[in-house]
Amino acid sequence: MQSNCIVRTFLLILFFQIIGLISVPAQVVAEFGSYDITLDEFEHAYAKNVGGWENAMKQDISDYKNFLDLYVKFRMKLRDAQVRAYDQDADLMKELKDYQKQVGVSYIVEKRINEPGVKQLYERRKEEFRVSHIMIRPDSLGEEAARKKAQAILDSIKNGQSFENMAIIHSDDKFSAVSGGDIYYITAGLLPYEFEDPMYTLKPGEVYPEVVKTRFGYHLIKVTERQHRYPKVQASHILIGYHNKEGQIDTLASKMRADSVMAKLKAGESFEQLALNYSDDPGSKEKGGDLGYFERRMMVKEFDEVAFSMNVGDIAGPVQTNFGYHIIKLTDKMDTQPYESEYENLKSMFNKQRYQHERDILIESLKKKYDFNIDETVLTQFVNMSDSLRFGMVHPKYDELAENILYSVAKKPVTIGTFLESANRNSKITGKPMDNETEVKNAINILAEDMLLEEEAMNLDKIDPQFAQLMADYRDGIFIFKIQEEEVWNKVKIDSADVYSYWNANKEKYSWPERISFSEIYSTKDSLIQKYYNMLKEGASFDSLAALYTERAAKKKDQGKYDLQAVDYSDFYKEANKISEVGSYSEPVVFSGGYSIFKLTDRQPARLKTFEEARAEVSGEYQEMLSKKLENDYVAGLEMRYKPKVYYDKLEDAFKQE
């Protein structure tokens, strides 16, 4: 019985495995020649075209059909590009490689440095730490002695000495030493990465087991608290200052007044009203004590510590600071904001704090991957033969040195000649001494960095599917461009006689509407515009008054003139069109935030354009007509060759998968 059960179970498992191995044929939405366009391919192309899957799901079936028609033509053109062997065209392939090199380097930096770095910073900043440290500066001791002293202190702490006591005795950070090394609450992005990284490995109460080196010195690190971070809080306060009515400091009286206000709050009186009546902070009392939103460390420590520990709605105090006694009400806590809204700020922070470090790590990994190697013998020879020379200068022994291989990347040699040509054009290198081995190595590393990134970029499509797709899209783009160039643009020939014939046959399409030109005197003051109007009536020249007095600065030099345009071209033209006779001017009218007088200088009735007037417009339309005909003829040829079929009914299933 048990044996039969096992057999049935085995057969059931085998059945499901076989079912799983049976491949479901992909739905075909179109075909041309021997090539299929699957539903998956269509969905991918359409979603990319409209900005993502969600947008694609919102589109109508008619939109899918229109796109499918265009996509079939696109695919047939790409097939034609294959037939024409564009992938063996030297110029096209050079353009593609140049693009891969240029875009690939930017892609590597973004995907391997910026994106992960900024994302880590965002995640880390969801927490805050209260941290203590002991710092030993190497200024007077020297590097090795400072490191040994820090290590000895760390060993003492591991053997039971108090971290806080050792900070008071030994730390060179005098601001935090008095508090046992406490540097208060911090989060990612505020301290050197060499300090930050160890900090994030610790739990509250733990001391980092190694001495940490930063540009400031040697540090011992202890985390005392680690908790969720609220980037900002909003609070109100009532400040009771230390000065009495006579202007004298009286802390006892201040404390008694603060306690009295606190009692009123506990009795149910309004915080906002009490702030208005009693607070000594003129900047917030009129707003019910509201201080708005603030971040950690923006307020004095005593105030900050209490405010960030409160829950929304809580009232705490009196809290004593250098300013007096505060009664604090927490009105809001702002939690972590969406990544997208914080990205630019985080990226700027990342660039300042650790971008170069992460870039250095990447470059070191590429040096190993691509066998970066400096020929030390050639380097020494170069340095010795470059006495008193600086990069940017002509090397007197260039001919003797030029063919010597100085370094290589991916087995691609770089001679001294090539090195000097590149170095002398690089602003980071020019002016540095050539007879200093360290400076020459630095120059080599600067130039090799670009080579390494470009080498990786040229291999990126083999290891990164997203980049491979990017390159495939660009390749398709330049192939389509080449086809359009050969089949359409290079074949468009514009003959003046043909353009004239086209205009003659379609001249009713090219016409002028009724048009006017006019001048204006403008002022923001009704008294002045009335004065100018009276001057006109007394015989003054309109153009002269406009040149002298119009307050439209851009029109002053033009004597207030507006060129011939359609009567409905703008509100200005509509207003001037109210004047019936050419040469007449209007009474002052309220217009455009001031007062205007308009003079009609010309009126042209609607009419057909002459050939010369319409030439540019006609030429453009004629060229477009020819281009469309050539495009249609070319596509018709492809359709004759490949006989495409589309299955619109299959599009009903588009974008239905979860």
pLDDT tens column, 351-380: 999 999 999 999 999 999 999 999 999 999
Pick the CATH number of 232-334 from 3.40.50.970, 3.40.50.261, 3.40.50.2000, 3.10.50.40: 3.10.50.40
The reported pTM is 0.76
For residues 386 and 388, what is the distance between their CA atoms, to the nearest angstrom?
6
558: β partners: none
The percent of residues above 90 in pLDDT, for the chain, comes to: 93
- Whether the per-residue pLDDT at 334 is higher than 70: the answer is yes
330: β partners: 235
What confidence score (pLDDT) does residue 12 get? Answer: 46
Q: With beta carbons less than 8 A apart as the criterion, state whether 79 and 35 touch.
A: yes
239: β partners: 326
- Whether the per-residue pLDDT at 585 is higher than 60: the answer is yes
Q: What residue type is 543 in one-letter code? A: D
Average pLDDT of the chain is 94
List b or e across 192-213, with b for residues whose CB sees 16 or more CB atoms inside 10 angstroms.
bbebbbbbeebeeeebbeebbb
The rounded radius of gyration (Å) of the Cα atoms in the chain is 39
- Closest CA relative to residue 620, chosen from 525, 510, 513, 528: 510
Determine the angle formed by the axes of helices 163-170 and 143-158, rounding to 10 degrees: 150
What is the mean pLDDT of the segment spanning 16-42?
A: 78
What confidence score (pLDDT) does residue 356 get? Answer: 95
Q: With beta carbons less than 8 A apart as the criterion, state whether 28 and 37 touch.
A: yes
Q: Which two tokens stand for residue 15?
A: 């059945």
Distances from the Cα of 345 to the Cα of 118, 231, 302, 348, 607, angstroms? 10, 13, 28, 5, 59
- Whether the per-residue pLDDT at 14 is higher than 50: the answer is no
What confidence score (pLDDT) does residue 589 get? Answer: 96
Element containing residue 596 per DSSP (H, E): strand 594-604
What confidence score (pLDDT) does residue 244 get? Answer: 87
- Whether the per-residue pLDDT at 341 is higher than 70: the answer is yes
Domain extents in the chain: 2-83, 127-228, 232-334, 351-461, 511-608
Which residues have CB under 8 Å from 175's CB, separation 6+? none
For residues 396 and 386, what is the distance between their CA atoms, to the nearest angstrom?
9
Q: With beta carbons less than 8 A apart as the criterion, state whether 445 and 407 touch.
A: no
Class of domain 127-228: alpha beta
Which residues have CB under 8 Å from 415's CB, separation 6+? 402, 403, 404, 405, 406
Q: What is the CATH number of domain 511-608?
A: 3.10.50.40
List b or e across 395-408, with b for residues whose CB sees 16 or more CB atoms inside 10 angstroms.
beeeeebeebebbb
For residues 259 and 493, what is the distance between their CA atoms, to the nearest angstrom?
93
Q: What residue type is 52 in one-letter code? A: G
- Closest CA relative to residue 423, chosen from 454, 451, 453: 451
For residues 223 and 130, what is the distance between their CA atoms, to the nearest angstrom?
6
What confidence score (pLDDT) does residue 604 get? Answer: 97
What is the mean pLDDT of the segment spanning 599-628?
A: 96
Encode pLDDT of 286-327 as tens digits.
Answer: 999 999 999 999 999 999 999 999 999 999 989 999 999 999
What confidence score (pLDDT) does residue 470 get? Answer: 95
For residues 145 and 273, what is the distance between their CA atoms, to the nearest angstrom?
61
Q: With beta carbons less than 8 A apart as the criterion, state whether 423 and 389 touch.
A: no
Encode pLDDT of 144-195 as tens digits.
Answer: 999 999 999 999 999 999 999 999 999 999 999 999 999 999 999 999 999 9
CB atoms within 10 A of CB 16: 9
Q: With beta carbons less than 8 A apart as the criterion, state whether 183 and 132 touch.
A: yes
79 burial level (CB within 10 Å; 0-12, 13-18, 19+): middle
CB atoms within 10 A of CB 424: 16
- Whether the per-residue pLDDT at 586 is higher than 50: the answer is yes
